[in-house]
Chain A
Amino acid sequence: MTQLGGLFFITILSLPYLILIWHIPQAHLPSWSEAQPVLLKTLWQAFLSATGSLFFGAWGALGLLKISGKRREIFKFIFMLPNFLPSIFVVLSVLNFFQPFPYGVAGIVIVHVLINVGLVAFILSDSFENQLGGVVELAMIEGASRFQILLQGVLPMLKRDLFLCFITVFSLCFSSFAIPLILGGPSASTFEILIYQKIKIMAQWSEALSLSALQSLVLIGLTLFIRQNRPIIDYKWRDFSALGSKTGFLIPLFISALLLTGPLLGLPAGVRQIQNLPVLWDMFSDQILGSLVVGIGSGLLCLGMLIFLALFYPSLRIRKILVSYVAPSTALVGFSLLLMPEIENVFFKIILGFGLIIFPLIYRLRWYSVLDALAPQVEMGALLGAGPFLIFSKILYPQCFKIACRLAGLCAFWATGDFAISSIVADRDISVALVIQGLIGSYRIESASVLIWPMLLCGGLCYLFFIGLGYVGSQKSVS
């Protein structure tokens, strides 16, 4: 039953591929002369993004080592904020700050670095805490300088962690779609955009399918690298201050502040612009409602998928397959949904598409470790003679429903900011994010800077809805 449930789930996640293979029996690779420059550009931008993020992120991680106790955790949270913001918010922030903005590969790299510096600082500071142990303290007692500790201790000990961190950011940037879509300029700047153009402009579906399959293979290969983790030993209590950098934490802190406050810059001019666009306000209530529907719907779908996985509690092998699973390209998912005339409702299409893309990330982010941690209890429940439903209702649900709701809330928050899937599937501006994308496209950055706040509010409300649901649901499980 659990195997069947897991396989059914993997089939659902692979739905876009199955639809496309059904409709397009033959897949052709595009000519090498066409694919090569885009592939090189994608690799180049991903390499530069990962290198930049690693450099500044490592510096940020050293900065975190100077801060101790709870303050370090608070700073880690602040550093991670750009990763949790919807892409459109980040794009708008940088467009407000950098004027004129360097559209193209340079622009994409800048935004990728800004987003991922905090993530790298977070991951590496964990690596420092978990892997270095007492070496830093010992080196400090022996009288080694910071430079010596870094060069002869940290680099050799953490070269694998640094490499994995590089690969993580590289794969994120390699498959990035939303940012290149807005900031990439007119020519295809990444593989994802080439897939998008192959379908939307050239109607070459078979080439798009083979490109997406190729991209997924590369990403699966990279994911296999990332999963090979060492056991974690918590050395947080050790004194790492000898290694820390006083200035390191300033860079990610500045980036978080920049990305969080960017749209405020355009706000005064934006308000004046918007006042001259009364038509925008007239339709705005519909778009607010649209954003809420997309957000709540995506969150509910995500919650359903998480609960389904808990109910059918897949075997370790299926759990490992799921954690290595890479979602198909955003463009491919969007266009595969267009090939399903049976689904008429545009909101349903967006919710389904967004769910299929975001779920693997949500699973990898937390759900995998939640299910893994509960494995001994599930095993014990089964040994005691409990069936799957009793195990779910008495062991899994009470312990993981709240976490599932939090993850669904995060999914809902991101969904309200989605414009990638929405712009492919929807034939009009059905959500605030789509209006904002339209305004950015026509260089009305200031107007977009006004509308981004209601969008963020919608996301916040959706998030709170799921937090509330988690609270109510967990109370019910207690009673």
Chain B
Amino acid sequence: MSEVKNLYLKYDNFTISIPKLELLDQGVTALCGPNGSGKTTVVRALLGLEKATGMEWVFKGEDLARLKPADRKIGVVFQGLELFPHMSARQNVMFAASARNISKTEAEGKLKELSNLLNVDHFLDQSVSVLSGGEKQRTALMRALIGSPRMLFLDEPFSALDKHLRTEARKLIKSIVAKHNIPALLVTHDDDDLKELASKVIYLDNGRVQTT
């Protein structure tokens, strides 16, 4: 279990006030709540993209809140995926590898392993701008995983997929979390996501944790 303390953020007409938050260090912790409840803001604060002064996040004895965003080593898949549109799927993944200073040989080995797991071989060298929604999502997942992150953040990753693809994607996430033994934080407001994936659910409303 990793513990987040003193997560306070204040905006003009919105406040995040979370004195304590516990995230699983195995399996999927789901962060759910209605639109505008502050889910994405909490994720951005944990990633270090929003400055939450005084926040602590002790993960296996280390306070991640003191680290720069990149040094927190969290793999992330945002709702918009944020793939680099001028690159191929392979280049997107290899960019992440070179950003983490992974040697080319090691990166290629990992890429092979991930592409087998995610079944992406057939589109790896295509530009991401021509990929389907599901293919894009798998590329984003691969990119998030290649740096061997300590945790995986998934911010409403299924929102752009149709019902059939959502089921597939959930299965995929479940197998990745199990196979890589990597804890994940899933932001969602979909009950099916909670049923299928969540080991723990944190309910957020109006910037405050209601129930866990």
A275: Cβ under 8 A from any B Cβ: no
Contact with B along A370-382 (1 / 0, CB 8 A): 0000001101111
Interface segment, one of B15-23, B70-78, B157-165, B166-174: B70-78
B53 within 8 A of A: no
The interface residues of chain A lying within 8 Å CB-to-CB of B80 are 376
User: Looking across the interface, which residue of chain B has its beta carbon closest to that of A397?
Assistant: B86
For residue B59, which residues in chain A have a CB less than 8 angstroms away from its CB?
A: none
Q: In the complex, are the beta carbons of A394 and B70 less than 8 A apart?
A: no
A365: chain B residues at CB < 8 Å are none
Q: Quick check: A384 and B100 within 8 Å, CB to CB?
A: yes
**From DSSP, what is the main secondary structure of chain B's interface residues?**
loop
B84 is an interface residue with CB less than 8 A from chain A: yes
> Which residues on B sit within 8 Å (CB–CB) of A387?
99
The A158-200 residues at the B interface (CB cut-off 8 A) are: none
Choose one: A377, A381, A398, A399; the contact of B99 (CB below 8 Å).
A381
Q: What band does the interface of chain A fall in when counting residues whose beta carbon is under 8 Å from B? A: 10 to 19
Partner of A381, one of B73, B78, B95: B95
With CB as the reference atom, state the residue of chain B lying closest to A398. B86
Against B, the Cβ 8 Å flags (1 = close, 0 = not) of A350-393 are 00000000000000000000000000110111111111001000
- The answer to whether A384 and B49 touch across the interface, beta carbons within 8 angstroms, is no
Whether a CB of chain A sits under 8 angstroms from the CB of B143 is yes
> From residue 29 to 88 of chain B, which have CB atoms closer than 8 A to chain A?
47, 49, 69-71, 73-74, 76, 78, 80, 82, 84-87
Are A379 and B49 touching (Cβ within 8 A)? yes
Q: Does A218 interact with chain B (Cβ within 8 Å)?
A: no
Instruction: Specify which chain A residues have a CB less than 8 angstroms from the CB of B74 in the assembled complex.
Output: 383
User: A378: nearest residue on chain B (CB-CB)?
Assistant: B82
Closest Cβ–Cβ distance, residue B145 to chain A (whole Å): 11
Minimal Cβ-Cβ distance residue in B for A379: B49
- Pair B100/A380 contact, Cβ less than 8 Å: no
Contact across chains for B49 and A399 when beta carbons are under 8 A apart: no
Cα A380 to Cα B47 in complex, Å, equals 11
Q: Return 6 A-B CB contacts under 8 Å, by A number.
A: A379-B49, A381-B84, A384-B96, A385-B100, A390-B95, A398-B86
Which of B's residues lie within 8 Å of A, judged by CB?
47, 49, 69-71, 73-74, 76, 78, 80, 82, 84-87, 95-96, 98-101, 143, 147
Known: A383-B76, A385-B70, A385-B99. 6 other contacts (CB 8 A): A376-B82, A380-B78, A380-B82, A382-B70, A390-B98, A395-B95
